[in-house]
């Protein structure tokens, strides 16, 4: 479901789709924009409306607003899983047809506007969730309605631009502060864990700080720098959360030793083909202070990998 929602979002925001006619004009609500928070909320709502303008005439606004509020609070999507592909495909076909991108003989399907509202509202709500404490959702939704209606807005383009820049700077500052705090916490927790783990029987520590245990010894050659290898593996955080696994995908992975994190490069060169090792990789040998860039691996996280070296490919 998430993949299709992302697909719909891409369709709505790509430049190849021209803006379409706004929804029928309605009496517009006005709100007090006398605080930074209120102006930021109105700006975000305006930007949301512009990003989904291509679908405007297919959206039931009441359903959209319910779905946004629900998703912002972390609720399950209001649209049923079975309705997602049906609604998503029909909506994208209608958008493509209005933009002149559909085949001339294509049949343009009807859509349930309530389901479209739920579909897009769930996507928008999730995108707003990380900043929900900085926004007044009623003002966000007021701005969406006003932008869709096509009348005069309560802020000028210059005011939108200034507010957008200030808000983005504020969000970046908050994000960096959270990342720095998390990085220090992860570094301390990792160091504490590794100090204890190195005392365990069968655990070896290299000069770089990489720790490993031989789970099964192999008898083949060891990879040299730059070699390409085939492995099966599972990666976990210290709390046991699995963030990546070739076992779950049902097939091994091939890569060059110069294409992976430093802990893998060093560790795999210790392994003979046929071996299975467990590695404990400190954050500075893994993804460092930046983490995996929005993924499951936080900054300075210590990682645990079980790795089977199947072959040296080249």
Quick check: 223 and 279 in contact, CB under 8 A?
no
Helix and strand totals (H; E) in the chain? 9, 7
How many C-beta atoms surround the C-beta of residue 150 within 10 A?
15
123 vs 5: CA distance, rounded Å: 6
Residue 134 C-alpha from the chain's centroid: 20
Q: Among 64, 118, 167, 233, which one carries the catalytic annotation?
A: 233
Active site residue 120: no
68 vs 140: CA distance, rounded Å: 10
Task: Report CA torsion sign: 260, 261, 267, 270.
Answer: positive
Active site residue 247: no
Which residues, at least 6 apart from 5, have a Cβ–Cβ distance to it below 8 Å?
84, 88, 119, 122, 123
Active site residue 136: no
Intra-chain end-to-end CA distance of the chain, in Å: 39
Q: Among 160, 167, 212, 305, which one carries the catalytic annotation?
A: 305
Q: Among 29, 47, 193, 244, which one carries the catalytic annotation?
A: 244
Q: Give how far Cα 209 sits from Cα of 167, 174, 194, 198, 282, Å.
A: 41, 32, 9, 10, 7
Active site residue 118: no
Quick check: 197 and 265 in contact, CB under 8 A?
no
Active site residue 297: no
Structure token digits, residue 145:
């309605």
Q: Among 79, 287, 297, 312, which one carries the catalytic annotation?
A: 287
Active site residue 244: yes
Q: Among 29, 47, 193, 261, which one carries the catalytic annotation?
A: 261
Which of 222, 224, 196 has the alpha carbon at shortest distance from 211?
196
Q: Among 243, 255, 284, 306, which one carries the catalytic annotation?
A: 243
158 vs 168: CA distance, rounded Å: 15
Catalytic (active-site) positions: 233, 243-244, 261, 287, 305
């Amino acid at each position: 479901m998430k993949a299709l929602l992302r697909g719909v979002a891409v369709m709505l925001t790509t430049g190849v789709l021209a803006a379409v006619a706004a929804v029928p004009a309605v009496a517009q609500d006005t709100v007090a924009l006398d605080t930074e928070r209120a102006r930021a909320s109105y700006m975000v709502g305006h930007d949301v409306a512009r990003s989904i303008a291509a679908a405007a005439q297919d959206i039931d606004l009441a359903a959209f607003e319910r779905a946004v509020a629900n998703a912002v609070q972390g609720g399950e999507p209001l649209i049923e899983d079975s309705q997602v592909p049906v609604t998503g495909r029909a909506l994208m076909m209608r958008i493509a047809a209005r933009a002149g991108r559909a085949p001339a003989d294509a049949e343009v399907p009807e859509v349930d506007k309530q389901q479209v509202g739920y579909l897009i509202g769930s996507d928008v709500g999730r995108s707003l969730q990380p900043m929900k404490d900085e926004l007044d959702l009623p003002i966000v939704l007021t701005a969406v309605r006003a932008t869709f209606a096509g009348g005069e807005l309560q802020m000028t383009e210059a005011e939108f631009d200034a507010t957008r820049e200030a808000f983005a700077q504020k969000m970046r500052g908050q994000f960096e502060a959270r990342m720095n705090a998390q990085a220090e916490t992860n570094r301390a927790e990792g160091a504490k864990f590794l100090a204890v783990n190195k005392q365990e029987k069968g655990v070896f520590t290299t000069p770089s700080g990489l720790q490993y245990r031989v789970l099964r010894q192999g008898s083949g050659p060891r990879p040299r720098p730059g070699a390409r290898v085939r492995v099966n593996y599972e990666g976990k955080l210290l709390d046991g959360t699995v963030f990546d696994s070739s076992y779950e995908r049902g097939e091994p992975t091939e890569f060059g030793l110069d294409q992976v994190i430093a802990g893998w490069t060093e560790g795999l060169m210790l392994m003979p083909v046929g071996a299975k090792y467990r590695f404990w990789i400190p954050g500075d040998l893994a993804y460092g202070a930046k983490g995996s860039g929005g993924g499951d691996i936080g900054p300075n996280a210590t990682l645990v990998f079980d790795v089977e070296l199947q072959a040296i490919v080249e």
